[in-house]
Structures are given as structure tokens and as C-alpha cells.
């Protein structure tokens, strides 16, 4: 009879054991506080649902990161920088350019993750209080409350719930209005090497030989700041300004090939500027697929603006009566010379959510 009485208990233990192994790797109280404080950048939390939440599960483990096609968002944190927020923050920034020049999307970070984006462009500065590390786009303060570590907690929550995925996080020291770059860089490094961050951050300085299996459930750092100590893939040595085709060598010995023509030069009008940008973007993606410039990491910024002609990021991305960059890129990927290409590298976009199927076309 004893063994009959023990059977229900053993069944309960058998069920309970896997639950313990799935226990979160973070402090739940700290996570809840971070998601609340960071909601101005992260958005409202909801568990990711849909096929794009785990699209990397279909990629073989031995695939190198440099042989993947990874969609991402340019100036990730700027999605919520509205005219009202700009007015609210005039006490910190004084008069700057109109808010549409700084806004590069309309989806929160949690929405961007759900849409399939796996590369994120974070730009930071010291907060007006002189203590916190918060998000900027150039001189525009994007949110006074959401801290760098809060957004990292959001990424960690996603990775715990979607362990087949990896995130590539570009981290740049963007603004020194309220604290020196030296102070900012030390704080960025400290955040990325905290005890909590070490669970999720892959500190490797090289990416060329890194396979997906080595970084599932983790973050790969693309470092665009001078760190007090080495961490992540160093992109600081030779990152060219407004350039359609340049390369650099990381401190880990990787070759990185980049297109970042963010202000294309053409005659007056939207269509000529879109053409220049689409040509630069698609040429670089084709080079990534063929590795024509050499083996390594390829990064393409499909983002642009022409401030002097009021062609703000959303107008360049979406178009205005005539098609913008995103339609041109999607058409090239789905029915043009880019159809069927693999190994497209990292592609950062503006307002991708306005062009249905663009993210899927990049992943395909």
C-alpha cells in the first residue's frame, strides 16, 4: 500500500523538477522594476507569440553568425520620440531640430522583437541627473526614465522565453551633454559586465568563427565605444561617417564591411535620394551574400535622411506618394536580383513595420 501512496507524490516531483530547471536567471523583483521603469523604450511587456519569435530555431546550430541574414532596427530607442515628448524635454535639451528628424521607427522594443528583429542599435548618454545611463539620438534625449540596464533586462526576459534566439546589440556612446564620454564609457562597460549581464552577454572579441549554437539565448555586443577594458566586437577603429562602402578590422582580428550612407547626396527630390540609398544598400547586401569583399561580418544600414530637404527618416523609409527605401529594398529582395540570396548579414532599417513583409524578406 505504501508504494501506492507514494505514486502521487512521485508524480508531483517528476512534474516539479523541470519547472525548477526553467527558473528565471534573473531576480524577479529587479526584472519587474526594470520593465516598469523602462517602458518608455521597451514598451509594455507581453510574452512574444507567433512564428517570428523563434525563427532562429530553424537555423542549423553550426551556422556562423557571419553567414546569417539578420534584420535589425536603426536607432532602436527612438520609436517613441514624439513632438509632445520633445516639448516636455525642452528643459533638458533646449531648442533642437524637430522630432521627426530623430525618430526612426514606431514599434516598441518588445514589438520589434516580436516582429523578428534580432539586431538593435542602442545609443547612450549620461542622464540629466548625472547618474543614470539613458538613451539619446544625437542631441535628442529619448526618455529620461528608461535606463540602459532596464532595456537589457527586457532583452534578457525575451531570451529566457525564446532560448533558440540570439541578439546582436550595437552599443554606442552618443551624447556627452550631462557627463563626459569617459564617465559614460566606464558606466556602459560596468553595465555590460555586471554579475547579471555576465549570464547573458557573450564577451568574445571575435565573431567570424562564432556559431549560432554558441550564442543561443545570449547577446553579442557590437561595441561602438572606447571601453576601459576589452568586451565585445570592437567597431571603433575606422568607423567612417556617412560612407556607402568601408571596412575595418576589429581588435579581435575580424574584418567588418559596412554600408552607412545615412545622408545620400542627389538632386532635389525624394526619388533621386531614395535611388541613391537603395543602390548603396542593395549593392552592399549582394556583396555580403557573395562575400565578394572577403570573409567577415557585413553590416548594412538601410536607414537615411536628408534634413536640408525635409526628407526625415520616415519619409525616406516609407516614401511620400512615390515609394521609399523600404519598398525598393523589399522589391529587390522578393522579385529583383536579391531574390533567393542568403548570408545577407545584419540589415538595420527605419520604420520596417510600415512595409509589410520586409523583415521576413530579410530573414528568407
Which domains are delineated in the chain?
26-50+62-363 (3.20.20.190)
Count of C-beta atoms within a 10 Å radius of residue 205: 16
306 touches 270 (CB < 8 A): no
User: Who contacts 210 (Cβ-Cβ below 8 Å, separation ≥6)?
Assistant: 64, 65, 66, 202, 204, 220
Mean pLDDT of 230-240: 97
**Three-state SS for 127?**
coil
The predicted pLDDT at position 18 comes to 32
Grid cell listed for 58 = 530553424
pLDDT tens per residue across span 75-112: 999 999 999 999 999 999 999 999 999 999 999 999 99
Residue 270 β-bridge partners? none
Helix or strand (DSSP H, E) at 88: helix 83-88
pLDDT tens per residue across span 279-320: 999 999 999 999 999 999 999 999 999 999 999 999 999 999
Query: Which of 22-31, 63-72, 183-192, 253-262 is predicted least confidently?
Result: 22-31
Q: Average pLDDT of the chain? A: 94
48 touches 113 (CB < 8 A): yes
pLDDT tens per residue across span 333-343: 999 999 999 99
State the number of CA atoms in the 13 A half-sphere of 338 facing the CB: 25
pLDDT tens per residue across span 13-26: 333 333 334 578 99
Conformation bin of residue 289: beta by default, left when phi > 0, alpha when psi is -120 to 50: alpha
The predicted pLDDT at position 22 comes to 56
pLDDT tens per residue across span 103-154: 999 999 999 999 999 999 999 999 999 999 999 999 999 999 999 999 999 9
User: Who contacts 333 (Cβ-Cβ below 8 Å, separation ≥6)?
Assistant: 339, 341, 361, 362, 364
Beta strand 322-323 with 167-175 is unpaired
pLDDT tens per residue across span 207-221: 999 999 999 999 999
Q: Positive or negative, the Cα torsion across 97, 101, 106, 108?
A: negative
The predicted pLDDT at position 24 comes to 82
Amino acid at each position: 500500500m505504501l508504494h501506492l501512496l507514494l505514486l502521487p507524490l512521485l508524480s508531483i516531483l517528476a512534474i516539479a523538477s523541470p519547472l525548477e530547471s526553467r527558473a528565471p536567471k534573473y531576480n524577479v523583483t529587479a526584472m519587474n522594476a526594470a520593465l516598469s521603469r523602462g517602458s518608455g523604450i521597451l514598451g509594455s511587456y507581453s510574452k512574444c507569440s507567433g512564428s517570428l519569435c523563434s525563427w532562429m530555431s530553424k537555423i542549423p546550430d553550426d551556422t556562423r553568425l557571419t553567414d546569417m541574414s539578420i534584420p535589425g532596427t536603426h536607432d532602436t530607442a527612438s520609436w517613441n520620440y514624439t513632438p509632445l515628448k520633445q516639448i516636455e524635454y525642452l528643459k533638458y535639451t533646449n531648442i533642437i531640430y524637430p522630432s521627426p528628424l530623430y525618430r526612426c521607427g514606431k514599434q516598441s522594443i518588445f514589438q520589434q522583437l516580436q516582429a523578428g528583429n534580432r539586431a538593435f542599435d542602442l545609443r547612450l548618454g549620461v542622464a540629466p541627473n548625472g547618474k543614470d545611463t539613458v538613451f539619446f539620438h544625437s542631441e535628442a534625449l529619448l526618455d529620461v526614465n528608461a535606463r540602459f540596464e532596464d532595456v537589457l533586462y527586457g532583452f534578457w526576459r525575451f531570451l529566457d522565453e525564446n532560448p533558440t534566439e540570439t541578439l546582436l546589440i550595437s552599443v554606442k556612446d552618443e551624447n556627452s551633454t550631462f557627463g563626459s564620454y569617459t564617465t559614460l564609457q566606464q558606466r556602459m562597460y560596468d553595465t555590460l559586465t555586471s554579475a547579471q549581464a555576465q549570464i547573458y552577454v557573450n564577451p568574445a572579441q571575435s565573431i567570424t568563427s562564432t556559431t549560432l549554437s554558441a550564442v543561443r539565448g545570449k547577446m553579442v555586443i557590437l561595441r561602438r565605444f572606447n571601453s576601459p577594458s576589452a568586451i565585445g566586437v570592437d567597431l571603433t577603429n575606422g568607423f567612417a561617417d556617412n560612407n556607402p562602402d568601408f571596412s575595418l578590422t576589429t581588435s579581435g582580428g575580424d574584418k567588418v564591411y559596412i554600408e552607412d550612407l545615412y545622408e545620400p547626396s542627389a538632386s532635389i527630390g525624394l526619388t533621386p535620394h531614395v535611388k541613391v540609398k537603395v543602390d548603396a544598400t542593395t549593392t552592399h547586401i549582394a556583396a555580403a551574400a557573395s562575400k565578394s569583399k572577403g570573409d567577415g561580418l557585413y553590416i548594412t544600414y538601410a536607414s537615411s535622411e536628408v534634413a536640408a530637404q525635409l526628407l526625415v527618416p520616415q519619409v525616406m523609409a516609407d516614401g511620400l506618394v512615390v515609394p521609399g527605401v523600404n519598398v525598393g529594398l523589399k522589391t529587390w529582395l522578393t522579385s529583383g536580383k536579391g531574390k533567393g540570396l542568403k548570408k545577407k548579414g545584419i540589415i538595420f532599417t527605419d520604420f520596417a513595420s510600415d512595409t509589410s513583409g520586409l523583415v521576413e524578406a530579410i530573414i528568407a
